[in-house]
Structure 1
Amino acid sequence: MSYRVIVDSCGELTDEMKQSGMFVSAALTMQVGEYHIIDDETFDQADFLKKVAECPESPKSSCPSPEQYLAKYNCDADHIYVVTLSAELSGSYNSAQLGRNLYFEEYGEKDIYVFNSRSASIGETLIALKIQECEEAGMDFQTVIDTVEAYIEGQHTYFVLENLDTLRKNGRLTGIKALVAGALNIKPVMGSTPEGTICQKAQARGMKKALVKMADYVEQETENAREKVLAISHCNCEQRAKDFEKILLEKMEVKKSIIVDTAGISSMYANDGGIIVAI
């Protein structure tokens, strides 16, 4: 059986995933002042961060249309899986479901399933890789779905950013009480809730202390670490990501560890210097 995994572009695809032919990206778009930017292979992170720094308004994002998903479903694959940004943070999940309904109306039934990652960025990447692992193990369509949904239940996402302005201004931090002013160089350690919203775990003065605190949370909250893949994405701060990986791997043993640079949407929300972790 052939399969295809569609990941909305908030999820980073590694070079290996891009080359495999099994993974495709559904592009979100971004608006920075008068600039309209598509989050696809043309995305230029350095140019984007420069535009954001120079623009007085906060950047905004739009999810892929149902029609874009519909076009990606129209392929030869027998099994199609979609991994989207948390439905609590974006319309991408609903859009993918609408695209699925459109496909059924136009072409008839097909094995298409949309996963709500309840995460973002590198969390989506790990879910996509889990789908591949299940398919390659020869599982049937429903068993893949059940296995991956159980994996999502046990996944945790964390992040520390230089600033939370874009998340706040775009309404992604609703329900979080008072975040301490940036003047004190306080860096909140943020995480995902089981429902896929964002919560504050802790805070520390300065990025280094915040990363150490985040590593503590990752270690404490990860069960069966040796069986899991650790994934780190960074926005224009590779050395910081490597330093964080070192801190974490001194605390715990994992099956594998990967580091990637953030794509467009993750770069927009993480901002220059942000670190996102999923396991």
Structure 2
Amino acid sequence: MQIITDSSCDLPKSYIDKYNIIIVPLNIEINGKNYIDGINLTHQEFYNKMAESPTLPKTSQPSPQSYIDAFKEGAKRAKEMLSIHLSSKLSGTFEGALSTRKMNGDKVEVFDTLSGSLGVGLQVLKACQMVEEGFDLNNIIEKLKEYREQMKVYVYLETLENAVKGGRVSKTKEMMASVLNLKFVVHVEKGYVKLLKTLRGKKRAISFMLEKLADENTDFNDRIIGITHCDCLEDAIKLKNEIVKRFNPSDVIITTMGPVIGTHAGHGGLLVCF
């Protein structure tokens, strides 16, 4: 079975290579110029260009041809394909894959993760591991649905700069938040991104996210925790160290947050998912 996903999954290249995953790239427009995620724009280049741009980058779903190419390649590799994508509530990526599948009649199932960044990536890894273990397609989809229901995604926002650029927050509110040192934690709920908590200071906000992990009362010994960061690796490593010390998970994956979610999180953002 061939696993396919889109570039919003933010999986490190080592995992993509290990499981031979096919990636369908999304598109980004920055300051009037168009880029293809992971093809002619790296994550670091994205953050550099975003910082220089007076306007918010725009992301769009993959082209129909990108899906067609991915499904054709997948069909060469395996009789069955499972295409796993960014939340349908956040992007048209899932619907694009679904439409292309119907047009081509390929033997491919399309799965909505109702998540973003490594929230997608961890579900892709789960599917890859089940393929290795010999699960059939129906069982993999059922297990993924259970995993999707259990998945938690929390995002710390260091700044509201991108929310201002995108018109979601006024400049006045941003200034007030800065003066009061207000930080925001959002989460993914049923595929949507929603504000969860407003706190005074970064330290309290990060502590709040760690408390949310503790509240789950989960044995993390056999769970992978994902961390993505918006060009703030040092903060991500500190967070990883604290998570390892407190929860001892089976593994912690750290990687940069890609353009799709990073556009909205902004510089200094941190995402934790499990």
Matching residue of 2:187: 191
Any residues of structure 2 matched to 1:1-279 within 5 Å, and which?
A: 3-20=1-18, 22-74=20-72, 75-76=75-76, 77-104=78-105, 110=107, 112-166=108-162, 181-193=177-189, 195-221=190-216, 223-279=218-274
Question: Residue type of the partner of 1:132?
Answer: C
Pair 1:120–1:155, CA change in 2 (3 A): same
CA spacing shift, 1:212–1:130, aligned 2, 3 Å: same
* Aligned equivalents of 1:26, 1:97: Cα separation in 2: 13
When normalised by structure 1's length, the TM-score is 0.87
What is the rounded CA distance, in whole Å, between the counterparts of 1:270 and 1:117 in structure 2? 19
Q: Is the 8 A contact 1:229 1:256 kept in 2?
A: yes
Deviation (angstroms), 1:67: 3.1
Q: Please say which of residues 81-90 and 244-253 is displaced more in the overlay.
A: 244-253
Alpha-carbon deviation of 1:150?
A: 1.1
Structure 2 distance, partners of 1:57, 1:243, is 31
State the AA in 1 paired with 2:146.
A
- Name the SS for the 2:142 alignment partner: helix
Question: What amino acid does structure 1 have at the position aligned with 2:156?
Answer: V
Structure 1 residue 11 displacement after superposition: 0.8
In structure 2, what is the Cα distance between the partners aligned to 1:45 and 1:196? 24
The count of aligned residue pairs is 267
Q: Structure 1: 5+ residue runs without aligned partners?
A: none
- State how far apart, in whole Å, the 2-side matches of 1:146 and 1:216 are: 30
Contact 1:43 1:263 in 2 (8 A): no
1:202 Cα shift?
1.6
Q: Secondary structure at the match of 1:10?
A: helix
The 1-side partners of 2:112 and 2:168 are apart by 17
State how far apart, in whole Å, the 2-side matches of 1:22 and 1:172 are: 39
Do the aligned partners of 1:161 and 1:274 also contact (CA within 8 Å) in 2?
Answer: yes
> Alpha-carbon deviation of 1:190?
1.1
Residue 222 and residue 256 in structure 1: after superposition, are their counterparts in 2 closer, same or farther (change >3 A)?
farther
Tell me the distance in 1 between the aligned counterparts of 2:10 and 2:53: 25
- Output the CA distance in 2 between the equivalents of 1:168 and 1:252: 36
* Shift of residue 172, structure 1, vs aligned partner: 8.5
Query: What residue ranges of structure 2 are gaps of 5+ in the alignment?
Result: none
Go from structure 1 to structure 2 and tell me whether the alpha carbon gap of 1:7 and 1:35 turns closer, same or farther (over 3 Å shift): same
- Deviation, structure 1 residue 58: 1.6
Q: Over aligned residue pairs, what C-alpha RMSD do you find?
A: 2.3
Instruction: Tell me if the contact between 1:192 and 1:198 (Cα under 8 Å) persists in the aligned partners.
Output: yes
